[in-house]
Structure 1
């Protein structure tokens, strides 16, 4: 765990250093913000998708709720996003609770399809409410100039501090969950839900807590995205492909269920997408996403456990980030296992 936390600190510090030495309105700092945003979003998904193996395709719903809630409060009543972000987190938790009650008992593709349907329902609802959300035309964040109070700036420089702060907070929350009691319970659900229930674990409660935390943090990410872009519509913030699948992709490519995984995934995927779009956008249509897909297929085939597994073996023994991300074995469980083997 120490190595992963050091990686979190290094990424955050490097981003802040770049924000102080580069042009605040430059393209590079915008990419830095997008990397931090992607890593944060992937870590949010990793709480339920990685620790509990609940493959969600509906995180776009919570992301969009956070974006719309804070923006509508600012547009209609002039409420600062510093308060709107908490309103969005609360609303996202309510939505996650409503979604979880009927779907948490579903397994495999059925759960994924249910979350996908919920995200699409939120998109349709936002499109059908032009008086509140702006409908398909979208909604704009009123710009009042450089203002920390309203969480908006002319360049990307100051946004780096916001994204870096949220990135660190989400990473710490994931670490506390993964290496605490809740982490053991979530992993028990992931490995064998029936066995966990027989052992006395309230699996529905465990999955519900993980889902609520993940939804709240995803909504906070959506609020920062809204302040960063100044304009969005239902297709952009409730997009399954650009939000839900992207969040899962970042965690899976980097290393699902690990603290370092989403960070490594974001450091690869975001710059790679930008480079391919820059150098191949004028070529044949679709060439950039085609090359991007080929690279991802190669990564998944060569590293099925994620890029974090590159640091996970040394001289035939597990080590590095992958080993550090694994919590110590439960002594009581290991003792029972040895007793059973001897008998």
Structure 2
């Protein structure tokens, strides 16, 4: 922060104040503020995914596994032992990080689509286990979060505004962690791996260990966000929190559309993809089966064709064009 210019500090402060005040413009129990909450949550998830995919180019399609572990861990601890979701979040982060470690040990030596397929299989295995282990998880019927008196300690509120601020704080925290990692020694090693794995090994970087550390951090953060989702929705099932399409692919898509490997990219992607998806569902879902998904997919394809590197690259390209026009 000390390296930022005064104008940038002022701009950041203004944007943060606007983001904090934004919920007062909406009905505290309305649909619009719920979309904002989901955009913030998925933006934070995409930022956590960005640690391993954006910095090290290890595209994971199994992050739903860590998300579901966090959701189920905190909920089961609350149901059976009355443990606060805050402590459940910590337990979920530990289990999520441990799961990331276990899956990374045999897979981090894989590259490209082989790694993506391996992580995809892990997410599917967790979904099948959760569906089969009905005595613990509720199986396909799902599981409900017991409602406690509205309080910050139990992460439960009567209105949606407190959830918005919690998810805004989560997005800021995960983004700060991503920026800190990117600027750290670990970040430089990850980017060296992204550019050329063989060259990184030649200069002495333990590439497997470095990628495993990134995966553990990413998995733990994603599990924390699973707890927030469970407390926000009050009900979920294995197909929701362990779903490849609903979680893993959506998170990857948000980061890619916004700008993979950048701090602002997942945020831009989340505030484009989530409202667009909800808008398409609201407008077209009643007209024909599958029409909303078709419209949503076509719009995403158009965006990616216009700029495959995402909104960040699109903004940079426009800025360069304006500079050339000003000089001429």
* TM-score, with structure 2 as normaliser: 0.92
Partner residue of 1:100 out of 94, 98, 104: 104
Q: Which runs of 4+ in 1 moved over 4 A?
A: 1-12, 316-319
Q: Distance in 1 between matches of 2:208 and 2:10?
A: 33
Partner of 2:247: 243
Equivalent pair of 1:7/1:260 in contact (CA under 8 Å): no
Q: Distance in 2 between matches of 1:37 and 1:202?
A: 33
Correspondence 1:252 to 2:256: yes
| 1:82–1:200 CA distance, 2 compared to 1 (3 A) | same
**Number of aligned positions between the proteins:** 319
Partner residue of 2:201 out of 179, 191, 197: 197
Partner of 1:85: 89
Partner residue of 2:116 out of 105, 112, 116: 112
Query: Any gaps of 5 or more consecutive residues in structure 2?
Result: none
**Structure 1 residues 108-141: Cα deviation after superposition (integer angstroms, max 9, x where no partner):** 1111111011111111111122221111111110
| 1:140–1:315 CA distance, 2 compared to 1 (3 A) | closer
Partner of 2:280: 276
Q: Distance in 2 between matches of 1:11 and 1:82?
A: 28
Partner residue of 2:60 out of 56, 60, 63: 56
Partner residue of 1:311 out of 294, 315, 318: 315
Q: Distance in 1 between matches of 2:229 and 2:190?
A: 29
Q: Distance in 2 between matches of 1:318 and 1:83?
A: 51
Equivalent pair of 1:300/1:306 in contact (CA under 8 Å): yes
| 1:122–1:316 CA distance, 2 compared to 1 (3 A) | same
Partner of 1:72: 76
Q: Note the C-alpha offset of 1:107.
A: 0.9
Q: Distance in 2 between matches of 1:125 and 1:6?
A: 50
Q: Note the C-alpha offset of 1:244.
A: 0.3
| 1:81–1:14 CA distance, 2 compared to 1 (3 A) | same
| 1:8–1:59 CA distance, 2 compared to 1 (3 A) | farther
Query: Any gaps of 5 or more consecutive residues in structure 1?
Result: 320-343
Map 1:171-190 onto structure 2 (within 5 A). Answer: 171-190=175-194
| 1:7–1:169 CA distance, 2 compared to 1 (3 A) | farther
